[in-house]
Structure 1
Amino acid sequence: MYELRNVTKRYTRGKETIHALDGVDLTIADGDRLVIQGPTGGGKSTLLQMLGGLDRPSSGEVVLDGTDLAKLPEARLTRVRSESIGFVFQAFNLIPTLTAQENVETALVPLGIKPKERRERAAEALNSVGLGERLAHLPSEMSGGQQQRVAIARALVKQPKVLLADEPTGNLDESMRDEIMDVLERMWKELGLTFIMVTHDSAIAKKAPRIATIRKGRISVKENAGA
């Protein structure tokens, strides 16, 4: 699935050079579930952006299914993101003027899927996350946990190979956190996804089969025997 080879990412801030990633090597197999942890500014979100093709490394290779994302033309990279990678973010990123169903449908528009099929697939995806009765609700008419369920449905409606989540429970209380994690874990198992998540929450991390810790741009990975 993923093979990262000597990946570096450098930013210039004034006269200072920031090494967000510093020679990262990482292998992630099909169907893997990996949690990424580390201090603020350590490179967690930068690594997730590389895996999602949202940013390019300064050097090194980010290989997904034999294709180096770092070398793809922008149009092809956009296509890979649209077809193969689902994203869930801390802030939900829903369009406030669209209903839950319409928000989910937005993920299918770039794929050229016809409106009738888009509506059907969006309704099915929302039903799978327990929101079958909320299709016509706006984000403002739903709780934070329900909005994140919509975001999960939007990420999964295109049937991606990979699900990337950046602090998906960061804006939720403990009970909502557990609900959302139950949904994500169920989707991972049922759909056979490769699931990679950034989180600061140790209670979530300890349930993951593999934990990657990134500090000052360097990474270490361990198997979690207690998961």
Structure 2
Amino acid sequence: MYTLQGVTKRYTRGKSTVHALAGVDLTIEDGGRLVIQGPTGGGKSTLLQMLGGLDRPTAGSVELDGVDLAKLSEAKLTKVRAKNIGFVFQSFNLIPTLTAQENVETALVPLGGKASERRRRAAEALDSVGLGERLGHLPGEMSGGQQQRVAIARALVKQPKVLLADEPTGNLDESMRDEIMEVLETMWKEHGLTFVMVTHDSAIARRAPRLATIRKGKVTITENAAA
């Protein structure tokens, strides 16, 4: 479970100070699904980075299962990310010279284990997102939707507790958007993940049981009983 208390993030730009987050209090239950929306520059990605331990707050606490990520050393924080948190980004972030299977395997390298086991798990993860026949293909040989499926497989192959997605459908057309959302929603349900996603797409937001709207660093939560 995530528990955020008084999370504030300030950036200094020249002589001005930008308040990306301003005293955010938020709880996300295990297995919960939350979509984050708001205007550009409103703090959406900053909040996601706090949840993923990719950035630290200026003030406040970001606890995951009772452990304050903001207080961990960089080495311990890296271990938490490697083991417990999967990331999916808008730009896919695949290594162009590696095959789909090799890209997925990169998520397992920090966890150790035999190379043969990493290959097996990567192949299974790709099969679970419908790419069992594309293991040996390079990113440049796949469509945008297929590349995002590889990125999802990479995020999930380590069997994380949390899946964080930053505009995962932002580079895709409407049909591909729906396909990727089906994959993400299926993975969320099947694996019991805590799933948090940033999106500008209101159609996607309406599908989520909880919506966090950020404006000027402040968060408002809306429950969607119909989702």
Using the size of structure 2 for normalisation, the TM-score is 1.00
Using the alignment, how far apart are the partners of 1:19 and 1:148 within structure 2?
32
Alignment of 1:37-76 (within 5 A): 37-76=37-76
Using the alignment, how far apart are the partners of 2:157 and 2:194 within structure 1?
15
Alignment of 1:126-145 (within 5 A): 126-145=126-145
- The DSSP-based 3-state class of the residue aligned with 2:91 is coil
Q: Does 1:164 align with 2:159?
A: no
Using the alignment, how far apart are the partners of 2:200 and 2:187 within structure 1?
21
- Once the two structures are TM-superposed, the CA of residue 113 in structure 1 deviates from its matched residue by 2.0
- The DSSP-based 3-state class of the residue aligned with 2:54 is coil
Using the alignment, how far apart are the partners of 1:113 and 1:137 within structure 2?
24
- The DSSP-based 3-state class of the residue aligned with 2:102 is helix
Runs in 1 of length 4+ with deviation above 4 angstroms? none
Q: Does 1:90 align with 2:90?
A: yes
Using the alignment, how far apart are the partners of 2:114 and 2:35 within structure 1?
36
- The DSSP-based 3-state class of the residue aligned with 1:132 is coil
* 1:111-137 deviation line (CA, Å, top 9, x unaligned): 012100000000000000000000000
- The DSSP-based 3-state class of the residue aligned with 2:47 is helix
Using the alignment, how far apart are the partners of 1:14 and 1:113 within structure 2?
47
Q: Which runs of 5+ in 1 are unaligned?
A: none
**What is the percent sequence identity of the aligned residues?**
82
* 1:166-198 deviation line (CA, Å, top 9, x unaligned): 000000000000000000000000000000000
Using the alignment, how far apart are the partners of 1:33 and 1:63 within structure 2?
17
Q: Does 1:116 align with 2:116?
A: yes
Q: Which letter maps to 2:155? A: A
Q: Does 1:221 align with 2:221?
A: yes
**Alignment correspondent of 2:198:** 198
**Alignment correspondent of 2:150:** 150
- The DSSP-based 3-state class of the residue aligned with 1:18 is strand
- The DSSP-based 3-state class of the residue aligned with 2:40 is coil
Number of aligned positions between the proteins:
227
- The DSSP-based 3-state class of the residue aligned with 1:211 is strand
Using the alignment, how far apart are the partners of 2:226 and 2:127 within structure 1?
32
Using the size of structure 1 for normalisation, the TM-score is 1.00
- The DSSP-based 3-state class of the residue aligned with 1:21 is strand
Q: Does 1:185 align with 2:195?
A: no
RMSD, matched Cα: 0.4
**Alignment correspondent of 1:173:** 173
* 1:50-94 deviation line (CA, Å, top 9, x unaligned): 000000000100000010000000000000000000000000000
